[in-house]
Amino acid sequence: MTTPTPPRGAGPRWGSVPFAFKRHQSPHGQVTAVSMMKDEGPFVIEWVAHHLAIGFTDLVVYTNDCSDGTDDMLIRLEELGLCHHRENRIPQGLRPQPSALNYAQEEPVVGQSDWVMVFDADEFLSIRHGDGTLDGLIAAAEDRGANGIVVTWRIFGSGGVIDWSRAPVTEQYLMAAPQSWNKGWGVKTLFRFDPDCWKLGIHRPKMKNKVIDTDFPDRVHWLNGSGKEMEDYFKFRGWRSINRTVGYDWVQLNHYAVKSVESYAIRRLRGNVNNKADKYNSDYWALQDRNEVRDDTMLRYSARRDAVIAALLSDPVLHRLHHAALDRVEARLEEIRRTDAYRELREKLAAASEIPISQITAKPPQPRDKDKIAALMSEVESRRNAKSRAERKAAPKEAAAPIVPTGLIAAAPLPPVDVEPDRWIANHTVDLPADPRIFTPPGLALVEAGRFERALARRLPAILPREGRMLEIGAASGFLAAHLMRARGGLQIALAEDEPALRTTIGRVLARNGLTGRADLRLLDPLEEATPDRLAGLVADQRPDILALADPRLTGADIAALVARLPAPLPRIVFLWGRVLEQGGEALAPALAALAARGYAPGFGFDANIAIGVELSPVTPAD
């Protein structure tokens, strides 16, 4: 058995025990994860196996005050040449995580790494790009001239799991918060590390003062989780994604903060990595137990991860330590299951799980003090931020794929809606039913908050022609048409919608808002099919000035075929919005190309996650 080549900076214990399974050799050099653990014994093997499987070459883990063998397992992994264990001796007055990062800043393995990412033991990197490995992800970033990727959290809930299980975390919990839920938009950063220029941080590194007023900031090029360039301000400060920067197409960080009820109960009996008082209470559970959307992307790693786990557990010492940790936690669970505290906790968590996502508030939002932030900014940062704002305003908006793959309207076929909804919520000028049969959890959350389709509702009344004919194909709940009628009028609007439950809902929305029987707002007979020929005939019959396409049956190719068949005179304005956008930017490319060929030019400035609008140029190509 050959002796493995030690990574740069490795200690004398690393690789001291011969072992067949070897660390990954990356074409990008030393790619290192830095983490902190306390009593994570049952989960250490999976966390290590997963991150070795996706392509980290080195794992540097700091532990403090472990009582379940976590540190012993990591020490053994270091002896096998697969990890680097370090003790986190915490100075008085400092929390464990910042203490560990201070040590990591001076750690030779970290300092001599090419790429570094700091994240926690309940966070698992999930790569959607390419083959799901770091090698491919970093290569894609470097192809775009980038030296960092800002990875946004995805909050995963319990999925209704109560009991403890030895099954992998990443296979047990497949229900998550919607990608659009901004309370889950904390980030961690994978970046090219130079300890002379960067100081490690929990969410992102901090640029050292000595390099701020040099050309170093110009050489920092970071991408978001969809491979799009991050805004300039993030080089200097920030720890959360915002609407303009969030992205999940390439990579996300799955955050399993709660796991099952019984896993959560065990965590309450020990400290946490930051010594936050009463962190693991029912309020925290309500915030983190989000189960609105299924995301099973992690299942792509199952075979690869299981092979690494099998290799790790072939070591008898690691096998013994791992199963001792499992036995220990299960014995402790047997004790607490018999207590009143456990029964009380289950009741509280069950109640917390019922809190709708629209009623969750993060703790407690501190008012943003602009003057304080400005005082902390260097002159360089202020100057660059001002320049960045000016460039952002001047630049045309770049098309982006929607970040809510499930959309706002439930997928067909919908259940019958013969029973009237019992709650109506005012959204802008229109009352909408808070009906989970019609709206997805993200959509229902927006309805309950009074913010459904807010961007369109705010701007459409001002940007659409004062008079004219509008045809919306795939009208869903009829909200936008009803809002236009209530907010300004002037248009003759025809709605097409085939889904029976949605047709019923449109009728109810119109009746509730006093719009039934109006000559200027009509629900057309069902189309029965959404072929390009059928829709071209409908457009010819209705002769709209404004054509809105939102029917989910329409693919980009279908829309392209429809656009090619549109009879003269062409609609002056065409919008793609609603369920059509759920296909994503690449799938809609044929539609946009066909519109351009007929003489339509982009306009209106909507974020492409919300609507894509085009307007007929004054001179159009000959048909």
> CA 286 to CA 349: how far, in whole Å?
8
The position carrying tokens 């403890």 is 164
The position carrying tokens 């807010």 is 454
pLDDT in the model for residue 557:
95
Average pLDDT value for the chain: 90
Domain extent listing, the chain? 31-295+315-359, 424-616
Q: What b/e sequence results for 42-51 when a residue is b if at least 16 CB atoms lie within 10 Å of its CB, and e otherwise? A: bbbbbbbbbb
The position carrying tokens 């070795």 is 52
Q: Which residues of the chain have pLDDT under 70?
A: 1-4, 269-280, 362-406, 585, 619-623
Q: Are 574 and 606 in contact (CB under 8 A)?
A: no
> CA 255 to CA 120: how far, in whole Å?
9
> CA 110 to CA 10: how far, in whole Å?
10
Q: What is the DSSP code (8-state) at residue 29?
A: B
The DSSP-derived string for 295-321 is --GGGGGHHHHHHHHHHHHTSHHHHHH
The position carrying tokens 């799901």 is 132
CATH architecture group of domain 424-616: 3-Layer(aba) Sandwich (3.40)
Residue 149: strand pairing partners: 190, 223
Residues 411-440: pLDDT tens digits? 889 999 999 998 999 999 999 999 999 998
pLDDT in the model for residue 207:
95
> CA 601 to CA 617: how far, in whole Å?
6
pLDDT in the model for residue 404:
42
Residue 175: strand pairing partners: 294
pLDDT in the model for residue 609:
80
Task: State the Cα angle at 452 between 451 and 453, rounded to 5°.
Answer: 110
pLDDT in the model for residue 366:
55
> CA 277 to CA 22: how far, in whole Å?
40
The DSSP-derived string for 144-211 is TT-SEEEEEEEEB--TT--S---S-HHHH--EE--TT-GGG-BEEEEEE--TTTEE--SSS-EE-HHH
Predicted model pTM: 0.71
The position carrying tokens 């019922």 is 354
